[in-house]
A and B are shown apart, each in its own frame.
Chain A
Amino acid sequence: MIDLRDFETKQIVKNPNAINDHGGAFVTPNTEYVIEGPQYSTPIGWEYAPIEDYAEKYRGLITFWKFDRVKGRVDPSQSFQIELPPYWQDLCDAGKGPSEGWFFCNSFNTEMATGGIEEGNPPFEAGTAKNDTDFLHIIDWKKAEEVFKAGNTENINGIEMIRLPTAVEEGILYFTPEPKSPHGADVTPGGEFVVVGGKLDPHVTIYSIDKIEAAIAAGGFSTDPYGVPIIPLDNTMEAQVELGLGPLHTVFDDKGYAYTSMFLDSAVARWTLGGPYAGKNPDEPWKLVQKLPVHYNIGHIASAEGDTVSPDGQYVVALNKWSIDRFANVGPLLPQNFQLVDINKPGDQMQLLYDMPIGMAEPHYVQIIKADKLQPFEVYPEVGWNTETMSVDPNAVTDPSQARVERDGNTVEVWTVVVRSHFTPEHVSVKKGDHVIWHLTNIETTRDATHGFAVPAYNINLSLEPGETETVEFDANQAGTFTFYCTEFCSALHLEMMGYFFVEP
């Protein structure tokens, strides 16, 4: 959980049963739940099971983390999981409007391939791509919540889980085919349709929530080996639009256009939605309108407020995985490339505006919202702010006169005041083997007056934003004379902002 008042991580929740995920975080329309999609199926609860037991022991898992809006934290005690067949469920999206209460995930290993290239078996890349279709997972999360609240669950490693037979019995889980090794499941702004990219199929397939609900009401399904009902594609599909090679993710604007990232084509495909969206632009519904080359190998794509019910429609950003020749060569590790695309004009008038190198790992899900929807802190509200509890820290020291060092047995506790351009105290002495608890308060109230605190020999490096209190604990196991110093160029006397840390042998 990242708090958008200071853009800092407030909570990391460990999933006790799932070992990996791809579709990291999706939210229901009112953030009732933050949903952690799965990725590669494994035995539940990090247990050992040989690959030969794949069909029996390996499982997919989707986690509904309850979000406490008041606290801004996930509440694991109100969260639950649903056991799924081992089909490598991947990327998901929550329904909204007419599809509110549903949740959709694509999957790409209904073949249940188990790999083993070294033993002459087909590698995963081939084994998982054998079938013409995989399954779009359709999950009734409102019903799942009822089942969880009714206690029809099993507690596994401290979290309640709806087991697969229960999910089938209660009508929580349905499948419908999706071609081929698909990617993404993106709900249109009005919630009427779900768009799935074909990846190895040149189409995007569009499913209608009306058709899905009608088919579920009609009943009479075949099932997969785990008993999950399969709704035929003909009964759920609204349209297919041929876009080209490698369609992955789809985002939307306010003019009835959809934008799909085309990985193999290295392009953004603009196409028209039908149904209630027809007539919002001059183009014919369910048709490809323009393919704009991007540079290169686009993966994810973001449109301004595109995941909301009212997309902004000014810009799309292409999140390209390769940049090749777009920037000065800085050696074999290249930056990724974000490209800003103007989508204001209808028809084939999309225009590439700007390249921006991203020096971090592969860019994934991105949301664009209007900046004035956020009111981040300029400095922390009070001096001595604990950024984890979001309140004043009991160990804050707000004036140099309160700075001190106290010893209690083998524990030495230090309260340090940090301000331009000095630490108080500047000499800290402990004995080898002492346990050191060091509290530091940056008492600055001026915007951008950030200080750092580094004791490199002890692998300690803190950033102290204006008003922030931090605590670091370590064992002083190495005797010697060490330095600590500020690591943010805070003032003309920044280099002078240092102190000595003595560890007596």
Chain B
Amino acid sequence: MGVGVRSGDYMNLLNLDPDVKVLLPDGSARRLMDYLIPSAILMLAALMLMISMFVPYWHMSLTAPQYPKGLYVDVYVNHLEGDVREIDALNHYLGMPKLDEGGRLERSISIIAVVVQGLLLIAAVFVHNRWAAALALPALAFPFIFLADLWLILYTYGHSIDPQSALGGAIDPFTPPLFGAGMIGQFGTVASAGPGLILAFAAAGVVLIGLWFHRAAYKPIVDARNKVKASTSQAAQA
């Protein structure tokens, strides 16, 4: 009931300013929407990256009989939260370094690095050739770099056991699992990706989609320009 909306109106909503066309150098015309879509997608990816800084990238929970509520640590790009103090207190028996000691450099530059990635994505909106892909590369690589670095930090933790500690001499070096369940003493551990890391991976996917639309929009311009250039030089030779 009520006022009927024809399907053409919906199309108009998706197709902003359908009466406006973009005139390419070779005289062909394209919809304005074709150029708005990649810009919007790349900016969305930048926004997702910004949001990801405020939520944990990685989560580890520990359970033991004497901790009925369990212990946990949340790893953000720039800080740690949770029962860090208690986990450090327990780890000192194993001679493991304090959690805070791992990835200090990364945490100190992470905010700037993520903001730069976002700015580069926005810059890619304004670069209308294949170099746009180069600008998007850091955002594509970021979640993989994060995981590789986290693995390195975990490896370093498990291989920095102080032999002078109470139990240090009795423990072989180990690497805590990046994902999934593990067991250390009476503690069961479960490591999982946090919403931040999922957002960063999703942002990388969105970047790929954005680049596809970007190419679809701007390659014809580059081609048209080349075509015009070729015909101009032909005319000159003639």
- The chain A residues found within 8 Å of chain B, CB to CB, are 419-421, 444-446, 493, 496
Contact = CB atoms under 8 A, between A and B. Distances in A.
Contact of B89 (A446, A493, A496): A446
A446 B85 CA distance: 9
Contacts of A421: 93, 166
B69 to A, nearest CB: 9
Interface in B71-124: 85-86, 89, 93
Tell me which of B85, B86, B89, B166 has the highest count of chain A C-beta atoms within 10 A of its own C-beta.
B89
Contacts of A420: 89
Q: Interface of chain B, helix or strand or loop or mixed?
A: helix
Nearest to B185: A492
Q: In which size bucket is the chain B interface?
A: under 10
B166 A493 contact: yes
B138 to A, nearest CB: 38
Interface of B: 85-86, 89, 93, 166
A426 to B, nearest CB: 14
Nearest to B93: A493
A419 to B, nearest CB: 6
A445 B86 contact: yes
A419 B89 contact: yes
B86 A446 contact: yes
B97 to A, nearest CB: 15
B89 A444 contact: yes
A113 B159 CA distance: 84
Q: Which 3 A-B pairs have the closest CB atoms?
A: A446-B86, A445-B85, A493-B166
Nearest to B71: A446
A492 B166 CA distance: 11
A444 B93 CA distance: 15
12 contacts: A419-B89, A420-B89, A421-B93, A421-B166, A444-B89, A445-B85, A445-B86, A446-B86, A446-B89, A493-B93, A493-B166, A496-B166
Nearest to A492: B93
A486 to B, nearest CB: 15
Given A444-B89, A445-B85, 9 more contacts: A419-B89, A420-B89, A421-B93, A421-B166, A445-B86, A446-B86, A493-B93, A493-B166, A496-B166
Contacts of A419: 89
A451 to B, nearest CB: 12
A420 B90 CA distance: 8
B2 to A, nearest CB: 52
A267 B166 CA distance: 59
Nearest to B186: A492
Contacts of B166: 421, 493, 496
B168 to A, nearest CB: 13
B71 to A, nearest CB: 9
Contacts of B93: 421, 493
B61 to A, nearest CB: 16
